[in-house]
Structure 1
């Protein structure tokens, strides 16, 4: 294949990939959360003003990008920092800047979470910036995030995970991928009484039902994603 044909093929593939990640609005196709059937907005409105010890918010339709690479690969590390303005975190840590965060998953894997509208921008920026033996994969359609907050949020986690969630073992900024009930979640502590669960799309309804059962003894209130 000639260089001209190769470039044309690559350009076409990139265009198709962009359309798959963010369908054009003129098509009438809009993204939908895997928990769209729950209608968190309506629940939040109905429960507005209620006191609570556990609050649940879905952070829907965020950008989720998996990075694979080595911390010894200077081009990879510097490329990520140039695009996101954040250094890759070390083991069990999360780094954030505004609405963008990088969560450590394993020794050579990280999860970037950002506003949904920036999906293509960040993905293409990372692809262009990094080099060497590495990978950038957009998994936005396959995951969602549930945020637990409130004075009893840690008790919900104690029912759900085989982890010590006390602040001495699970401080703010820590990230762990663990069993959650009978599925898996990437669990981060974002504030003293605030946690985020990154869950797979196919298990989102199960986790939602599980959390309702776990919170039966607490005053669970649904909050609107801001």
Structure 2
């Protein structure tokens, strides 16, 4: 780990050294054999995207937008509940509230990104929280992914109400989650680490009729 001080703020890299093995939030479920392989007739495929970088930004939209565009190459979403991705689809910025955004980047980029943003923002009024270790992302694809979500969340996920480029905080079964629609054939769930195993097992049960498979 390393640390850098910006004024009165000390930052440090929370990602452990590569010599230290990391286990995803779903590792226990995997080790117990609850990971059916995708089959030819699987209509839903689930894949966890663990160890990504999750940063929560708070502050004025105008100031943050300029910094994020310069450092990450993505503008803040222009509308509430908006989701913006870069050309590769690996980096995203999501609207959480009028002064709060979630940035997700490939694992290992988050500490450098945080430092570059702090340097760019200087004396502006803002806050950056690295929540990478407390969250994970589950991706759902397949012809019946939307129907599976209809069984699992209270939010109206019909395409007329939940188009591509939208992201919302939802109640998932008896847990809370962030539901995202980054592309036509893909949905994402951003989950707290402590809810991940429960939500995963719910998805396996609710997706059984669709032959759900798990890509690891």
If the length of structure 1 is used for normalisation, what is the TM-score?
A: 0.84
Aligned to 1:190: 182
User: Structure 2: how far apart are the matches of 1:67 and 1:160?
Assistant: 29
Shift of 1:187: 0.5
Q: Pick the aligned partner of 1:123 from 109, 114, 126.
A: 114
Aligned to 2:104: 113
- How large is the RMSD of aligned CA atoms in angstroms? 2.4
Shift of 1:69: 1.1
Q: Does 1:91 find its partner at 2:84?
A: no
Aligned to 1:55: 45
Shift of 1:216: 2.0
Shift of 1:223: 1.8
Report the structure, 1 or 2, having the larger strand content: 2
Q: Pick the aligned partner of 1:23 from 12, 16, 20.
A: 16
Shift of 1:195: 0.5
Does the aligned pair in 2 maintain the 1:187–1:196 contact within 8 Å?
yes
Q: Does 1:69 find its partner at 2:51?
A: no
Does the aligned pair in 2 maintain the 1:50–1:221 contact within 8 Å?
no
Q: What secondary structure is seen at the aligned counterpart in 1 of 2:112?
A: helix
Shift of 1:29: 2.0
Does the aligned pair in 1 maintain the 2:39–2:211 contact within 8 Å?
no
CA separation of 1:170 and 1:12: change in aligned 2, threshold 3 A: closer
Aligned to 1:35: 26
Higher radius of gyration, 1 or 2: 1
CA separation of 1:223 and 1:9: change in aligned 2, threshold 3 A: closer
User: Structure 1: how far apart are the matches of 2:195 and 2:209?
Assistant: 23
Report the structure, 1 or 2, having the larger helix content: 1
Q: Does 1:150 find its partner at 2:142?
A: yes
- Residues 141-177 of structure 1: CA distance to partner in whole angstroms, max 9, x if unpaired? 0000011111111111111111221111110111111
Aligned to 1:102: 93
- Note the 1:192-211 alignment, pairs <5 A: 192-211=184-203
Q: What secondary structure is seen at the aligned counterpart in 2 of 1:117?
A: coil
Residue ranges of structure 2 left out of the alignment (5+ in a row):
none
Aligned to 2:163: 171
Does the aligned pair in 2 maintain the 1:188–1:195 contact within 8 Å?
yes
- Residues 190-221 of structure 1: CA distance to partner in whole angstroms, max 9, x if unpaired? 22231000000011111011111111211101
Q: Pick the aligned partner of 1:82 from 46, 70, 84.
A: 70
Residue ranges of structure 1 left out of the alignment (5+ in a row):
1-6
